[in-house]
Amino acid sequence: MASEIRICNFFRLTTAKGVVHRYQNYFIGETKAFQGQNYAFSPFQADGALASLNGENQQLRVLFPSQELVIRLVEDGDGNRLSVLALATAWLTAGGDISTSYTDFFVGTGATFNDDTVELRFRSSMDSVGAAFPARTFTSDNVGVLPLNSELYLR
Amino acid sequence: MSIVFPSLKPSQRQFSLGTFPTKVYRSLAGTTVKRSFGNKPSSYQLTLEFANVPDSTVSLIIDHYNNTAGGFSRFPLPSSIFAGMDGTLTSKMQQPYNIRWEYTGPPAIQSIYTNISTVSVELLGELNV
C-alpha cells in the first residue's frame, strides 16, 4: 500500500447553457492537460459524495473561494441548476504524472454564496430506483421531463 | 496594487521556509499515510528587526503598514532586506515561487532613546494565484 498519496481533482462543468469550465486543484498556478483538455488551476475542494445500498443519489459539494470568475461561473450557469459535472480523481506520481484516474458524473442542483466561499451543490445523475419499479427505461417520450434524482413515486 | 516594502537593511533577520500542503493519517497500528494536496510550498515566515533606527525610518514602516491595510494587501520585498546574502540565496528567499508577503501583525516599536527606536516586523509569505 502506498504511504504517500498525491491526488488531483479535475473539474469539468458544463452549464445548462453549454459553457464548459475546466479546473484542477493540485498544480498551483499551472495549466494541466488531462484526457486531451487543458485544466487551469483553481483552489477548490470537493467532498461529500456518498453511496448506499438503497441507491439514493450521491450528494457532492464543491467549495470555491468567492473569486470573481467563480461567481461569474454560477451566474452564467443559471445558479448551477441542471449543469453537468464530470469530476475526475487522479492519482499522481512523485513527478506529477497521472497514474490512475476515476471519473464520476453529477447534476447541478444549486449554489450557495457566503462572504468568502461559493458552494456548488450536485447530486449524482439517476442511477437507481426502488425495487417496485417495473423494468422499463425512462425516456422523455414516455414520462415527459426526466427526473434528476431517485425520488420517484409509482402512482 | 502592491506597495514595495521600504528599502531598509535589517539588523536581524530570521527566515523559515514554506511548507507543502499535506495531511497525515496515522493508524492505530502506528503506520502513517500521507496525502499531498498541492505541489508548491506556502506560509513562508520572515521576522525582521530594525534596531536603533531614527523616527523617520519608523515612520516609513508605519506608513507602509497602513498603506497595505495592515496585513490585507500583499507586497514584494526589496533586495536590501536580504543584504549580506549572495544572489542565489537572495532569490530563493526574496521571492520564492509566486510568493507575496503580508504582515502577520502590527509592527512592534520600542523606544530606545530620543528619536531612536527599535522596530520588529513579522511577515508571512503566501502563494499569490
Closest-CA residue of chain B to A43? B129
Judged by a CB distance cut-off of 8 A, whether residue B27 touches chain A is no
Residue B68 lies in a domain: yes
Cell of B49: 528587526
Q: Tell me which residue in A25, A29, A43 faces B98 most closely, judged by beta carbons.
A: A29
> How does pLDDT run across A87-129, given as a tens digit for each residue?
999 999 988 899 999 998 888 888 988 888 999 999 886 655 5
pLDDT at A144: 75
Residue B33 to residue A4, Cβ atoms within 8 A:
yes
Q: Where are the domains of chain A?
A: 7-143
Give the count of domains, chain B.
Answer: 1
Type of residue numbered A93: T
Distance CA A34, CA A24 (A): 9
Residues 6+ apart with CB under 8 A from B54: B115, B116
**Contact present, A83 and A137 (Cβ < 8 Å):** no
Give the residue numbers spanning the domain of B75: 48-127
The full DSSP string for A81-103 is EEEEEEEEEEEE-TTS-EEEEEE
| Interface confidence: ipTM more than 0.85 | no
Residues 6+ apart with CB under 8 A from B99: B18, B42, B44, B125, B126, B127, B128
Which of A6, A7, A39, A89 to mutate to test binding with chain B, by most B CBs within 10 Å of its CB? A6
Q: Tell me which residue in B32, B39, B40 faces A3 most closely, judged by beta carbons.
A: B32
Residue B37 lies in a domain: no
Q: Nearest 5°: CA angle at A142, between A141 and A146?
A: 75
> How does pLDDT run across B76-120, given as a tens digit for each residue?
999 899 999 888 888 888 777 778 999 999 999 999 999 999 999
Which of A3, A28, A97, A116 to mutate to test binding with chain B, by most B CBs within 10 Å of its CB? A28
* Confidence (pTM): 0.79
Please list the rounded mean pLDDT of every run of 10 residues in chain A (155 residues): 86 89 93 94 86 72 87 81 90 91 90 89 69 64 72 61
Distance CA A106, CA A110 (A): 12
Residue B33 to residue A6, Cβ atoms within 8 A:
no
Residue B14 reports pLDDT greater than 90 = yes
Residues 6+ apart with CB under 8 A from A95: none
CATH of domain A7-143: 2.30.110
> How does pLDDT run across B19-45, given as a tens digit for each residue?
999 999 999 999 999 999 999 999 999
pLDDT at B60: 96
Distance CA A47, CA A24 (A): 14
Judged by a CB distance cut-off of 8 A, whether residue B56 touches chain A is no
**Contact present, A25 and A88 (Cβ < 8 Å):** no
